[in-house]
Chains A and B, each alone.
Chain A
Amino acid sequence: MVAETLPPPIAQSGIGHWFKKHFFSTWLDGVLSLIFLALIIWVVSAVWTWGLRHAIWTVENREACGHGSGACWAVIQDRHRLILFGLYPYEEHWRSTLACLAVIATMVLSCVPLFWTVWRLPILWLVGFGTFVLLMRGGFAGMPLVTTEQWGGLSLTIFIFSAVFVLGTPLAVILAFARRSSLPVIAKTTGLFIDIFRSLPLLTILFAAAVVVPLVLPDWLQGDKLGRVIIGFALFFAAYQAEIIRAGLQSIPDGQVEAAVSLNMPFWSQVVDIQLPQAFRNTLPSTINQAVITFKETSIVTIIGFFEVMASGNAVVGTGEWGQQYVEVYLFLAFIYFVFVFGLSRYGAWLETRMRVGHG
């Protein structure tokens, strides 16, 4: 006996059908959809009116600020240099701009797989960060010396973040391997080190780096306050990142290393060519997560006297002149953070596709 063949369901398509299916399939759905639609229209139009239509854009019209119902973006026009450059001398802002571009270019190039070799990355970083420090510091070729106490704004934020990431990542790799060492002394010591750095708040570590370390170290070893803070921050970052990498290493089947050993690949090649790429690939989402957290945590360095972008923003609001415009200033800061964090997430998503995360 042959079962009766049913005709295939009629494929319903078109926008009308799609709306009905997703928004109005029951009367409750319909009501909720309408409520949210009204809400969205209200929010968008409010933001539009406040942020664009009634906004005051230029300093010439600043008398209108606070009287009308619009945003006062004049504050950004007037004080964008303070937000972007902090206390860096006004005439030298071009140097800070160039330095900032150098670091951004370095980070972007680091993200390109072409540079992922044992030699290219370190050279790229040396050149990129070298350019940043030389330009920012000056003191040669007619460029006046600007000490790190005067560095500030967005370029300082980006510099701290990228330096922490670039110093912290290799350190994290070393810590991860040391913790898996077959020698108990090394494994236990590393474990203790990681636990200590993870149990201390970042603030404590930065305070110690800025204030306590100079008391115990001899003068010639102290270096610059910014340098110490970056190293302390990098140790903190490395302690977390090491555990992420360790998880990635543990997820690699034993057979991978056995194959590499039996193919007579040298130990460094087993690490660099086989283990690290797979560990990195397996932990990409957590690594991007850690990078985003670190970027946002850079604002903590304010407390030990560095004038990064958040502190610069606060300074703008702190003056009586623009004291009323804190919403605009903080929105602008939020926008800067959003651009970077969103860029990081998009890069992470692109890498995941490219590295085929989740595939055997």
Chain B
Amino acid sequence: MAEHAISFEKLNKYYGDHHALRDVTLDVDHGETLVICGPSGSGKSTLIRCVNGLEAYADGALSVLGHSVGDDERELEAVRKRVGMVFQSFNLFPHLTVLENCVLPQVRGIKRSRTEATQIAMGQLGRVRVAEHAHKFPDQISGGQKQRVALARSLSLDPDIMLFDEPTSALDPEMISEVLDVMQELTRGNMTIICVTHEMGFARAVADKVILMVDGAIVEQGDPEQMFTVPKHPITQDFMKAVAS
């Protein structure tokens, strides 16, 4: 087993002239819950989208569970098999029922039988407490339910790592906690989790480590207590004040 679950080494990425990631070096341990925060446009999403190859980086090195993420399609596939992702906009498949959303990726991606996949999907839907909506279509359930279905869909594939890209930013306020609750349950297991979020209460409760990104670079990292109570860097101090108010 690789020493770290994920390790970024001097990762750089550009969108045209915009320097989106600047020499990002970061290790995430097995079973660790990492929260990334920072102002919008600071490269948080770009960073986690590099992990499963949704974004390509320009230079540096990135290894996930011992596989190097780069141009090699086989390595990418090996990584995607073990990395799940939940998006801000849910990205459920609108033409499929909730259950079929969870079954189809198992059948197509890891060649499970339909019976087994259905059983696993129902189990995961139960775990995130949406089992009774299994036969509805995504447009018939609420945002909070959609996001929990998206989580169940990823969990059905038994990932070792889960990536959360602002999972509650598109939700109405009253639905945020139902999603954070199931995420919090997840952090108690031995899954490796990276979560981009603005929910500082959540970060403080579940994170093993918090990092702050500004303009594509990691400005400060540490355990949540230290980051929230005695931030060292002036930018962190300003940011913490801003999100606290």
Report how far A261 CA is from B157 CA in the complex, Å: 13
Docked-complex contact A262 and B108, CB < 8 angstroms: no
Q: Min CB distance, B147 to chain A, in Å?
A: 13
Partner-A contacts on B (CB < 8 A): 52-54, 77, 80-81, 83-85, 87, 89, 91-95, 104-105, 108-110, 137-139, 150, 153-154, 157
Chain A residue at smallest Cβ distance from B102: A263
Report how far A255 CA is from B93 CA in the complex, Å: 10
Given contacts A264-B157, A266-B108, A273-B104, contact A278 B94 (CB under 8 A): yes
Given contacts A262-B84, A265-B105, contact A277 B95 (CB under 8 A): yes
Residues from chain B with Cβ under 8 Å of A269 in the complex? 104, 108-109
Report how far A1 CA is from B150 CA in the complex, Å: 51
Docked-complex contact A262 and B95, CB < 8 angstroms: no
Among B77, B80, B85, B105, residue most surrounded by chain A Cβ atoms (within 10 Å): B105
Q: Min CB distance, B101 to chain A, in Å?
A: 9
For window 262-291 of A, CB contacts with B under 8 Å fall at: 262-266, 269, 273-274, 277-278, 281
Residues from chain B with Cβ under 8 Å of A281 in the complex? 95
Docked-complex contact A262 and B83, CB < 8 angstroms: yes
Is A201 positioned at the interface, with any CB of B under 8 Å from its CB?
no
Residues from chain B with Cβ under 8 Å of A263 in the complex? 80, 84, 105, 109, 153-154, 157
Given contacts A256-B93, A258-B54, contact A265 B109 (CB under 8 A): yes
Is A120 positioned at the interface, with any CB of B under 8 Å from its CB?
no
Closest 8 pairs between A and B when the two form their complex, measured CB to CB? A259-B91, A263-B105, A255-B91, A269-B108, A264-B109, A262-B85, A264-B80, A360-B139
Q: Min CB distance, A350 to chain B, in Å?
A: 16
Report how far A360 CA is from B201 CA in the complex, Å: 32
Is A247 positioned at the interface, with any CB of B under 8 Å from its CB?
no
Docked-complex contact A266 and B109, CB < 8 angstroms: yes
Residues from chain A with Cβ under 8 Å of B53 in the complex? 261
Given contacts A253-B89, A258-B54, A359-B137, contact A264 B77 (CB under 8 A): yes
Is A356 positioned at the interface, with any CB of B under 8 Å from its CB?
yes
Is A187 positioned at the interface, with any CB of B under 8 Å from its CB?
no
Chain A residue at smallest Cβ distance from B100: A273
Is A104 positioned at the interface, with any CB of B under 8 Å from its CB?
no
Having A260-B93, A265-B104, A360-B94, one finds 14 other A-B pairs with CB under 8 Å, namely: A253-B89, A253-B91, A256-B91, A262-B52, A262-B85, A264-B157, A265-B105, A277-B95, A278-B93, A278-B95, A355-B95, A356-B139, A359-B137, A360-B139
Some 25 contacts from A to B, beta carbons below 8 A apart, are A253-B91, A255-B89, A256-B91, A258-B87, A258-B91, A259-B93, A261-B53, A261-B54, A262-B54, A262-B80, A262-B83, A263-B84, A263-B109, A263-B153, A264-B77, A264-B110, A265-B109, A266-B108, A269-B108, A273-B93, A274-B93, A278-B95, A356-B137, A360-B138, A360-B139
